[in-house]
Amino acid sequence: VQQSQKDLAEDFLNLHKTPPLFVLANAWDVASARIFELAGFKAIGTTSAGIAATLGYPDGQKITVHETAEVIRRMARLVKLPISADIEAGYALTVEGVIESVRIVIEAGAVGINLEDSTGDSQQPLFDIEFQKEKITAIREMAQSPGIHLVINARTDAYMLSKDEETLRLSKAVERGNAYKDAGADCIFVPDLGDMTITSMKSLIDAIDAPINIIAGPNTPSVGELEEIGVRRVSLGPRHQRATFALLRRIAEEIMEKGTFTGLITEGFSYADVNRMFN
C-alpha cells in the first residue's frame, strides 16, 4: 500500500468524524465515478447492485470480489477521491474468506468497505451477531498490516429484513449497530432509514453510538435536515443508476413507438466533454 492510499484512508475516516455530513456517491464504472468527482463530491463508493447490473447479474453476491476489484482498480487509476468497496457479505462464509475479500479490494485501491449482515437466505436472513462481530474485529486487525485505517461501514439489515413491528425492528438494528461499533466498525449503515420519518431516524441515530450512514431516495429530507439530526454519511446506493435505466427505457420506447429521437438530447454533454473526463 502506497502513501497516497494511506492518506486517502485518513481523509476518508476524517469525513466521518465531524459535521458537516458528506454524501458518498455510489458508482458502478469509471464514468459514473468521474461525473461525481467532477461535481465536487468528496468520496466514491461502489454499489454491488450497480456493478452486477453492468455485468449482467442480479444483486446478491452473484458477482465475485475480483469483478468488484477490477472496477475499483480502474476507478483508482483516475479518481483522486477515497473509494469505498461494497463487498456485500464478504463473498465468503468464513472469517478467513471475508478477510481475503477485504485484502483483494484494498490491493485494488479501496480505503473503506461496506460489510452487511444479511445471509441471502430467507429462512435465516441475518448472520449471527457474534459471528458478524468476529468478522469485523478480524478485518480491523488485518487492515493494520498494510498500514491503513480501513474505514469499516458495517451494514445491518435487521431493520430492513425483519418482519417484526416497527419498535422491535428498530431496537434490533440498534443492538446490532452498537455491537458492530464495539467490534471495530467506524460507521453503521442501516438501509431504508432514509425512507423513514425524520423522528424515527433521529431516535435510531441517538441510540447508536457511532456515525450513521443512511441511503437517500427521492423523498429523503434535505442534507441540512439530515445534518441537524446527526446523520454523518449519506449514500445513494444504485438508485441513480436506476434513474439512468429509466431514461434509457424512455429513449427506447420513444424510438419504438413514435420513431423519433428527441430523447437523445445530451444537455451540452459533448463527445469532447466525455473524452476530457478521462485525460
Interface mask (CB under 8 A) for its own copies, residues 187-216, using x and -?
-----------------------------x
User: Which cell numbers hold the place of 102?
Assistant: 477485504
- CB contact at 8 A, 109 and 73: yes
Closer CB to its own copies, residue 52 or residue 179? 52
Alpha carbon distance 186, 6 (integer Å): 16
Among 11, 59, 107, 195, binds its own copies (CB under 8 A): 59
Tell me if 246 contacts its own copies by CB under 8 A: yes
161 is a contact residue toward its own copies (CB under 8 A): no
How far apart CA 19 and CA 71 sit, in angstroms, is 30
Please report how close the Cβ of residue 1 comes to its own copies at its closest, in angstroms.
Answer: 21
Taking CB under 8 A as the criterion, which residues in 226-245 touch its own copies? 236, 238-245
Q: CA-to-CA distance for 100 and 8, rounded, in angstroms?
A: 21
Binders of its own copies in range 28-47 (CB under 8 A): 29-32, 34-36, 38-41
Does an H or E element contain 253, and which?
helix 239-258
Nearest residue (CB) to its own copies, 131 versus 269: 269
* Site for its own copies, residues 65 to 104, rule: CB under 8 A: 74-75, 77-78
- Kindly give, in sequence order, each residue whose CB lies less than 8 Å from that of residue 100, ignoring residues fewer than 6 positions away: 92
